[in-house]
Structure 1
Amino acid sequence: MSEVQKYTIADVASRNGRGGAPVWLIYKDSVYDVTSYIPEHPGGDVILEEAGKDCTKAFDDVDHSSDAVTVLKKYKIGEIVEEEKKYDANGKKKKRVVAAAPENSGNRSCMNKITCGLLG
């Protein structure tokens, strides 16, 4: 089994169809080269509006059929690199984890401020 080609979001962004560039899209962290499909697409050049971008929301908002998903799979050329992925293995949007700011040892904690205020 061959290794899946990995791309960054910036790699895909540069393939936006402008100046003769190919047309790549991201759908749920998979990368598709749809350049040759544009003339066949029932919606015509509407694909170009999403060229070089993550089209997941736009694709899902149109409520494409399962046939459309099957057609899309034919054009898959790789996936987004692990550190830039937005979806889990089941295609569900990952929850963002926000790290807490490190506590600055130079500042007094809330309890210290209250205690000092009461004693001072």
Structure 2
Amino acid sequence: MDNLPTYTKQQLALRNGQDKPQIWVAYKGIIYDVTESRLWRNGKHYEHWAGQDLTAELPDAPHTETVFEKFKVVGLIK
């Protein structure tokens, strides 16, 4: 993972499915591309919005962090 590009939180925020077509979320400093997930259509997943770090929100989710294993890693947060 050392050779992945790094992005600022502001750059991540643009990948919200509205400002840019990509839909990305971060978890524990890693950015995942959830664009193809039907659960993230239009950049929204239940009460969560794409383009942000979801680390603090995961404890309230009905799933574990293993959910991120199905998504492509695209970068790291600076």
Report the TM range for the smaller structure's normalisation.
0.7 to 0.9
Q: Percent identity?
A: 29
Partner of 1:29: 29
Query: What's the TM-score, normalizing by structure 2?
Result: 0.73
Q: Larger C-alpha radius of gyration, 1 or 2?
A: 1
Paired residues of 2:31 and 2:74 also in contact (CA < 8 A)? yes
Which is helix-richer, 1 or 2?
Answer: 1
Unaligned runs of at least 5 residues, structure 1: 82-120
Partner of 1:104: none
The CA deviation at 1:68 is 1.6
Superposed CA RMSD? 2.8
Paired residues of 2:14 and 2:20 also in contact (CA < 8 A)? no
Paired residues of 2:58 and 2:65 also in contact (CA < 8 A)? no
- Off by >6 Å, runs of 4+ in structure 1: none
Higher RCO (CA < 8 A, seq sep 6+) = 2
Matches within 5 A, 1:1-120: 3-18=3-18, 21-37=21-37, 39=38, 41=39, 45-46=44-45, 49-65=48-64, 67-71=66-70, 74-81=71-78
Query: What's the TM-score, normalizing by structure 1?
Result: 0.51
Which is strand-richer, 1 or 2?
Answer: 2
Paired residues of 2:15 and 2:23 also in contact (CA < 8 A)? yes
